[in-house]
Amino acid sequence: MVDVTGVHFIPVRWCQCEDAEAYPIQLLQAKLFPATFEKPSTTFTFAVLDDFVRDNLECGTTGMNYYSKLHRITSAVFPHLVPPGINVDPTEDLNHWKYAHTLVMDGNFKAEHMHDRRPADQVRMMDGRGYMVSNSEYQAYLQATPHVTEKSPCNSHRAINQANANCGKLHSTGIGATACARHGCFYPHSVVDFQKGERQLNMDYSLANALHYNMAGINKVLCFYDINCSYMKNLRMRVGNSSFIEIPRSLQIMPGIGIWHVHGHKQECYARYAPLFMKGAGWVDSEIIETLWSLLNVVSASVRGMSSPH
């Protein structure tokens, strides 16, 4: 039970009367909000929920920072020993569709970057430890990987049209990334620079890195991309021919196209790739990465002339 006084581990005995309410209703009647309505094992008191809303509104406290504060209230000396806990039984079959990861890929052409005046003087303090991929490994991959242009049988898209675009004044013509299609957070070590538009070899590197993050036991992935009708055709072949990236053979990738972009494709693409018809996709539009770009675009003009490490 998570409360303003800390995180408490308390045994609970449910009411077993004939007219007893379901377990989640019993918790709510006790002013405890369950983390899940099936097999609840974690609850939040109404008091802690109200307190977090006030902290978030007045102090801008994020959920992660607020929970870190509760860790310290629980154990000031060893806050890291307070487990967060999850509501997934360790014996559960992770092959079930409800445990499939749902991710979305996209490129942003407004996040340009100028050439460094003195590239030899640039020192990367956190190379590859954040969201951008490791520079040296990524450059080695680019030099060793030929670009193969895939002609799309579908309608013309901006990403395809700009595949061969090049600008000598720019070090990067944009960035590409992979993010969670449900929660809208970028996958660490999966953001790549574009050199000549949104090429498949760039996005292959992003996807391969994302599919190695927190994927233990997961064998199904729903992957959404604006041009999946052409991108996914030879993905396994491209990755298999590379010694720099790898996607496990046992990983089943189900391709999809965001609900907004899919209407720009041929009619048959709608039934095949729209998330509305994909088992396990849930009620998502798979366009959440566009909202992430909108925030980055506010600062793109200011950082395009900064050094690469910045």
The structural domains of the chain, with segments of one domain joined by +, span 2-81, 97-303
pTM metric for this prediction = 0.75
Q: Which residues of 32-62 are buried (b: 16+ CB within 10 A; e: fewer)?
A: bbbeeeeebebbbbeebeebbeebeeeeebe
What's residue 284's pLDDT? 86
The pLDDT of residue 195 is above 80: yes
The whole-number average pLDDT for the span 57-62 is 91
Q: What is the pLDDT of residues 197-239, one digit of tens each?
A: 888 999 999 999 999 998 888 889 999 999 999 899 899 999 9
Indicate the SS3 state at residue 58. Answer: helix
Tokens at 275, concatenated: 């998330």
What's residue 86's pLDDT? 62
Q: Which of 5-19, 46-60, 79-93, 249-263 has the lowest mean pLDDT?
A: 79-93
Is 22 exposed, middle or buried, given 0-12, 13-18 or 19+ CB atoms closer than 10 A? Answer: exposed
Could you write out the DSSP letters of every residue in 121-188? Answer: G---SSTTSSSBPPHHHHHHHHHHS---PPPPSS---HHHHTTT---TTEEESEEEEEEETTT--BPT
Q: What is the pLDDT of residues 133-192, one digit of tens each?
A: 999 999 999 999 988 776 777 765 555 555 455 566 788 899 999 999 988 899 999 999
Backbone angles phi, psi at 169, to 5 degrees: -80, -10
CB of 55 closer than 8 Å to CB of 61: yes
